[in-house]
């Protein structure tokens, strides 16, 4: 095991390995475990990227919140896409089983249970995504509360 600072090429490899974990908002411990990168190195890169977001790209809390929501919606979309593809595969398999047996097979088969669980997960993700989309962001909530206060005091 080599110690010390990796060369630029190795640093770039580490960044490319870790960046998806950071963008998916996964913990440093999970990223370290799955990539084999030292936990302190993972923390270092997460801090660098987090500081970049805070300071240079988006210094405003409200803007950062909106970006986090957009990233979360994107992550949910990616997961939904994967689940829909898996659901299509399962439906093809179920239809194949029905054609082979000329009847609907016993629902105790694992493929049917998996299909039902998959439908539930898809529904859960759709609800989560909907909640993120329709919930007002902090700036809208504060603006509405300010308007209410001004109306109450007759200054609006």
Q: Where are the domains of the chain?
A: 8-57, 61-152
pLDDT digits (tens, 9 = 90+) for 11-67: 899 999 999 898 888 889 999 999 999 999 999 999 888 877 666 544 577 777 788
CA atoms within 13 A on the CB side of 62: 8
Q: Which of 64, 13, 5, 66 is nearest to 36 (CA)?
A: 13
* C-beta separation of 98 from 46 below 8 A: no
CA distance 37 to 28: 10
Q: Above 70 in pLDDT, residue 114?
A: yes
CA distance 51 to 53: 5
The owner of tokens 């529904």 is 123
CA atoms within 13 A on the CB side of 112: 10
pLDDT digits (tens, 9 = 90+) for 141-155: 777 777 877 787 776
CA distance 31 to 29: 5
CA distance 85 to 78: 11
The owner of tokens 């963008």 is 23
């Amino acid at each position: 095991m080599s110690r010390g600072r990796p060369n630029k090429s190795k640093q770039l490899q580490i960044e490319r390995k870790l960046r998806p974990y950071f963008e998916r908002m996964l913990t440093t411990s999970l990223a370290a475990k799955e990539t084999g990168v030292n936990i302190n190195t993972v923390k270092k890169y997460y801090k660098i990227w987090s500081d970049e977001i805070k300071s240079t790209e988006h210094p405003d809390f409200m803007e950062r919140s909106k970006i986090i929501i957009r990233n979360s919606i994107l992550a949910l979309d990616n997961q939904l896409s994967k689940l829909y593809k898996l659901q299509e595969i399962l439906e093809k398999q179920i239809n194949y089983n029905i054609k082979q047996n000329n009847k609907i097979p016993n629902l105790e088969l694992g493929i049917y249970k998996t299909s039902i669980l998959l439908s539930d997960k898809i529904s859960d993700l759709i609800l989560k995504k909907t909640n993120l989309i329709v919930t007002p962001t902090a700036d809208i909530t504060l603006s509405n509360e300010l308007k209410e206060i001004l109306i109450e005091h007759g200054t609006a």
